[in-house]
Structure 1
Amino acid sequence: MEKKAIKASIVVLIAAAMILPVGAITQTAYTNDKEQVSTLEISRGHGSVGMDISTSPVTVRGKEIKQVRSISANAMLDGDVQVTSGDGLEIQPSIAADGAGSLLIGMIADFGSGLNAYFTSSSDGGATWADNAVAWQIETPQYPSVDYWGGSTYYGTMVPSSSDSDGGMLYLMECTDPTDFENGYTLTGWGINDLGDGYTNIKAVDIGCDNGVEDWAYGGVAFIGDHGSGLTETPMFAYQMTEDGYSWFYTFSNADDPFTLEHSLSAAMSIDHTTHYAYPIWTYLNQNTGLYDIYTDIFDFGTWDEYQGYPIHPEIGSVFINDSAVSTEYIDVSAYNNNVIIVAQTTQYGAPNRDITCYYSYDGLQTIETTTIAASPDSEMHPKVIHTGDNQAICIFVKNGNIYSTTTDDGGATWTEPEQVNDQDGTVETFYSENSPADLCKAGAIWSDTRSGNADIYYDSIAAPGPLLAIESISGGFGVTATVSNTGSEDANNVDWTISFDGGVFIGKEKTGTVTVPAGGEATVKSGFIFGIGKTTVTVNIAGMSKTASGFVLGPLVLGVE
């Protein structure tokens, strides 16, 4: 497909601010049009300016399991898979995938007991979906967000009701087995309305997960809320710092400063699984221009420092993306191997028409360039983006009641011509899902659809650029064998892999190698000779993905792998 790149100029303000102490830092502004670069020194520093420590979260009781469909589990209409079919609304979906066929979704739905946040799953790449979904008896939330952590584990959160701790309840949903609705899902929450000066009226959340550091650290949540110091709709950030749930909560403005980060419209979050850098990102209203600009503060989630006796992730620096000609309203971000891609709904070519703009970097936002993904006479809105490999990503957006997808294989510099995803024209629901009508994972897109006269959840797969690997299975015998598939459009050549054993093995605890997996095909990787006795956990890692299995080692045999 033809690719296009529309060049534009942006101004990027980079503050190399470390977390302690926070002070004025000289910032450098870059103007990039791919042919020339000019710099401007700015004597304004930014980073976190407010930090609070919460105690352990409270476990939420009152779980309920509901039937979410009255159709057969493999019902398909014109290629779009119908996930739910309740009589009430099913809206505001979110999705995550493990790269091995498991998908988890969150949604706001009414399955007979009022609107609530429900979670359900697919174990075969979205071809079929579970008949049930799980929720908890809480005040009606909005806009759930889910992400894959590793192994069989996912995490999620949601926007709390304004009557739930003054809108100051930050929820954390943990799913250790998406197929086990009785025991695989738990919900905890931090009541932060009285933490420090108070965090209230949370209006947007996005969770990013990473299992590369601690097995209890889920990742982080970027969100927007009001702060008792006098900040309205300001960027906020949180992550867990101890195994028992103590957490850091951040703000990034002082209410008394002449320049504040306020009146944010959207928040997004991504963690680079290769560098373990976290990129929480927000829009904010620039008081000087009247436009919405972008702000992010980068954290090193691969490192623990100490502050006042507590573990803390160091801040790497903060980044402003300001353009006097562009207002950025709704954003999303994805990061992989220092390639950071930010997609934004913008008024680049004048309101009320909206377009999709891409800001991309190959060096962790040290430098940033921009291109336009979509700018037709109609409004393109609500973009989402996710990496599928090195410099490879998918972006979706909504236009005229339809979902469109486009891909890049050069880190965001160029994008393919957008193609419609949904098969029935003009039925994507945007009234109740105004801020986020659709979401995206590596395998495909999910959205709320009105084709049946009601708002139901639908899913469809999207072809990824280049190779797209998945760990299909792990089996035992003499050692361990893992089967790896490639559903992408290109061969995956010389991909690094690792098979490791935890417990039970005395010889051959880890094996590494490379494998080539043809497009549309499969390949196997093997641990080779091992020797030991006892229970073991097998972990297979390839291309940033991992899959685990348990078994029993008896001499050179690995038995009962599951």
Structure 2
Amino acid sequence: MKRAIFIGAIVVLSAVVTAINFNSSEESAVNFENAIKITPNLVKMRQPMTANSGGNVLITADSIDDDHLPAITRDPSGNIVVTWTTEYSLLDGDIGFAYSQDGGSTWTGYMLLLDGKEEYSDCAAVYGNKYEGGGEFTGIWGVYLDPLNEQLGFYRMSDITNTETWEFYYWVSTYENPTYACISDDTWYNEFNYDITGPTNMEIHDEDYGGGIPGCPSHWYVDGAVEQGGVQYFDAQSELLTAPASDPDMVCIHDSNPAQTEDDFVYLTWQYSGPDGNKIVLKKIVPNIEPDIEYTPYQQYIGEGTNPNIGASGDNVVVVYMSGGNVVAAYSSDRGETWATSTIGPGKYPAVYMSGSNAYCAYINNGNLYLVESNDGGATWGSPQQINDVDGSVVEEENAVDIHPAGIVWTDNRNGNYDIYFASGAAAPVLNVASISGGFGVSAVIENIGTGDASDVQWSIDITGGIVLKGHAEGTIASLPAGSSTTVSSGLVLGIGPVTVTVTADGASKTASGFMLGPLVLGVS
């Protein structure tokens, strides 16, 4: 088992910096320390970004260069967030960000200008206030890499609408030939070997361990408080051949308990290009059992093909990938214990997300972007719907498409260069904790502000701080139609002193403060 660990305070610089390698390492897993905090050079995009008559929105309206690798999420406040890579040349590139506060109709965008070739920016909504350890950070957490300077970086944004809250970092040690980075919503886990708690992410680079591992997959745990640093585990191939690896993706699963249990885990997938062809790797990391990507007991090949993308919800998980000219889905309803496959149809470079047993897959075929839905966990699929409103305009390249309940983003060439476009996806639920109130116990209003009905919504109420004898409640909302709301209650609670109340509903979260006096929760705000 090999590990890389960062321990120590974050170093803060007052200007943009390039690569710094404070330590060299004879072994691939030691002598890393600290991260550099960068003061960002942000340039606001001036061109208006609004929807055309067909509903497609040009995100990168200001860009005359080629834009690639779009990624999309929705932050805890409901804003849609998109990031991408702008390539100026083979040796120069930057990453961009845009957000929408009105469901995708209008956008505000920025470019982050740094020395080097920053690329593969991916972003996720994280909820540190829902879990024990790692600080209370809630907002956007993202990753990126710079292959020119052999650097790996991360960023966090507590308020996407306020650039003063945007923080950018990179690790001081260098990494040979970094090629991919990814992260997923609701990523927050404890790694018990070094007691690091916070977001996790994947990246791929060349490791020098054991004579060298080209394209070695790595899984990171980073301190959510940005105080201790982070831990990197890489796959040294002792259990399953997985390198050279490419095109990774991941998805996170949690229960409603703020304390980590064996019901908190993360799925990782990527393409392994071996002597017998291309295989789809699936690893499930249950940090309470084994946090190491190499030694997890849950690892296997689930198909033959390329370019996997993964979605999961509850016990359901779907991996879509390319095989024999088709988009294929490997699906499981028992947390990846058993798998079956279905064929979606001809296409390339798919992306997928899940909500309950519904799976939504976007893919490219003959220069067009299609969306198709499964209502049975991936076993069967409906008729595809074309998303781009200019025929043949979608660029057929790796990671040209990303999909999320917030919408779909893709790389498009209708304007003569490569641009990033956005469109609303299929009707999907979007949950929000509208309000929290006190009295005898705690009650909260949970609303569905999306365009699709929600089912089997897991909710929880947790009261922490003070002296709390009874402060947890959870349940399931069987159905919550689009545009509707419902009230959930904690029932009897007991405690005394100042407290924090946290209410969650699937991915949505809201906190409030108050004062417990026996069964009463007073002054909730």
Q: Same fold (TM over 0.5)?
A: yes
Structure 2 counterpart of 1:91:
68
1:276 Cα deviation after fit: 2.1
2:219 counterpart of 1:238 = yes
2:82 counterpart of 1:119 = no
Equivalent-residue separation in structure 1 for 2:245 and 2:124 (angstroms): 23
Structure 1 counterpart of 2:41:
64
Structure 1 counterpart of 2:79:
102
Structure 2 counterpart of 1:468:
429
1:211 Cα deviation after fit: 5.0
Structure 1 counterpart of 2:384:
418
Indicate which of 58, 68, 75 corresponds to 1:82.
Answer: 58
2:129 counterpart of 1:149 = no
- Residue type of the partner of 2:59? V
2:150 counterpart of 1:187 = no
- Residue type of the partner of 1:133? Y
User: Is the CA contact (8 Å cut-off) linking 1:174 and 1:186 kept in structure 2?
Assistant: yes
2:488 counterpart of 1:538 = no
Structure 1 counterpart of 2:331:
360
Provide Cα deviations, 1:294-351, integer angstroms capped at 9, x if missing partner.
223332134578xxxxx9997223202355xxxx1211112332322111112x2xxx
Indicate which of 199, 206, 223 corresponds to 2:203.
Answer: 223
CA-based RMSD: 3.6
Equivalent-residue separation in structure 2 for 1:381 and 1:507 (angstroms): 54
2:249 counterpart of 1:282 = no
Structure 1 counterpart of 2:461:
499
- The alignment partner of 1:135 has SS state of strand
List alignment gaps of at least 5 residues for structure 2: 3-26, 130-137, 256-262
1:93 Cα deviation after fit: 0.9
Equivalent-residue separation in structure 1 for 2:170 and 2:30 (angstroms): 14
Equivalent-residue separation in structure 2 for 1:160 and 1:496 (angstroms): 39
Equivalent-residue separation in structure 2 for 1:99 and 1:406 (angstroms): 27
Alignment of 1:36-47 (within 5 A): none
User: Is the CA contact (8 Å cut-off) linking 1:535 and 1:553 kept in structure 2?
Assistant: yes
Equivalent-residue separation in structure 1 for 2:185 and 2:63 (angstroms): 33
Structure 2 counterpart of 1:7:
none
Indicate which of 280, 288, 297 corresponds to 1:294.
Answer: 280
Q: 1:110 to 1:552 in 2, by over 3 A?
A: farther
1:419 Cα deviation after fit: 0.9
User: Is the CA contact (8 Å cut-off) linking 1:382 and 1:437 kept in structure 2?
Assistant: yes
Equivalent-residue separation in structure 2 for 1:480 and 1:284 (angstroms): 49
Indicate which of 269, 284, 299 corresponds to 2:250.
Answer: 269
Indicate which of 168, 173, 185 corresponds to 2:155.
Answer: 173
Indicate which of 343, 359, 363 corresponds to 1:397.
Answer: 363
2:358 counterpart of 1:381 = no
1:182 Cα deviation after fit: 1.3
2:525 counterpart of 1:525 = no
Equivalent-residue separation in structure 1 for 2:143 and 2:282 (angstroms): 20
Equivalent-residue separation in structure 2 for 1:560 and 1:118 (angstroms): 39
Structure 1 counterpart of 2:259:
none
1:514 Cα deviation after fit: 4.3
- Residue type of the partner of 1:237? S
1:217 Cα deviation after fit: 3.2
Percent identity of equivalent pairs: 23
Q: 1:487 to 1:189 in 2, by over 3 A?
A: same
- Residue type of the partner of 1:63? P
- Residue type of the partner of 1:446? V
Equivalent-residue separation in structure 2 for 1:515 and 1:294 (angstroms): 35
User: Is the CA contact (8 Å cut-off) linking 2:317 and 2:336 kept in structure 1?
Assistant: yes
Provide Cα deviations, 1:191-248, integer angstroms capped at 9, x if missing partner.
444xxxxx41011222235455459734433333222244454331122266601312
User: Is the CA contact (8 Å cut-off) linking 2:454 and 2:480 kept in structure 1?
Assistant: yes
- The alignment partner of 1:217 has SS state of strand
List alignment gaps of at least 5 residues for structure 1: 1-18, 21-49, 194-198, 306-310, 349-353
1:374 Cα deviation after fit: 1.2
2:168 counterpart of 1:205 = no
- The alignment partner of 2:349 has SS state of strand
Q: 1:53 to 1:336 in 2, by over 3 A?
A: farther
Equivalent-residue separation in structure 1 for 2:244 and 2:459 (angstroms): 45
Q: 1:447 to 1:69 in 2, by over 3 A?
A: farther
User: Is the CA contact (8 Å cut-off) linking 1:154 and 1:176 kept in structure 2?
Assistant: yes
Between 513-522 and 360-369, report the one with greater CA deviation. 513-522
- The alignment partner of 1:182 has SS state of helix
Equivalent-residue separation in structure 1 for 2:28 and 2:186 (angstroms): 22
Q: 1:277 to 1:499 in 2, by over 3 A?
A: closer
- Residue type of the partner of 1:381? K
- Residue type of the partner of 1:222? M
Q: 1:280 to 1:524 in 2, by over 3 A?
A: same
Equivalent-residue separation in structure 1 for 2:328 and 2:290 (angstroms): 35
Structure 1 counterpart of 2:237:
253
- The alignment partner of 1:208 has SS state of coil
Q: 1:84 to 1:135 in 2, by over 3 A?
A: same
Q: 1:251 to 1:484 in 2, by over 3 A?
A: same
Equivalent-residue separation in structure 2 for 1:547 and 1:402 (angstroms): 36
1:95 Cα deviation after fit: 0.9
Q: 1:364 to 1:524 in 2, by over 3 A?
A: closer
1:487 Cα deviation after fit: 3.1
Q: TM-score, normalised to structure 1's length?
A: 0.73
User: Is the CA contact (8 Å cut-off) linking 1:300 and 1:313 kept in structure 2?
Assistant: no
- The alignment partner of 2:197 has SS state of coil
Equivalent-residue separation in structure 2 for 1:238 and 1:136 (angstroms): 27
Q: 1:340 to 1:74 in 2, by over 3 A?
A: same
User: Is the CA contact (8 Å cut-off) linking 1:319 and 1:365 kept in structure 2?
Assistant: no
Equivalent-residue separation in structure 1 for 2:490 and 2:213 (angstroms): 59
1:365 Cα deviation after fit: 2.6
User: Is the CA contact (8 Å cut-off) linking 2:248 and 2:271 kept in structure 1?
Assistant: yes
Q: Which has the higher contact order (CA 8 A, sep 6+)?
A: 1
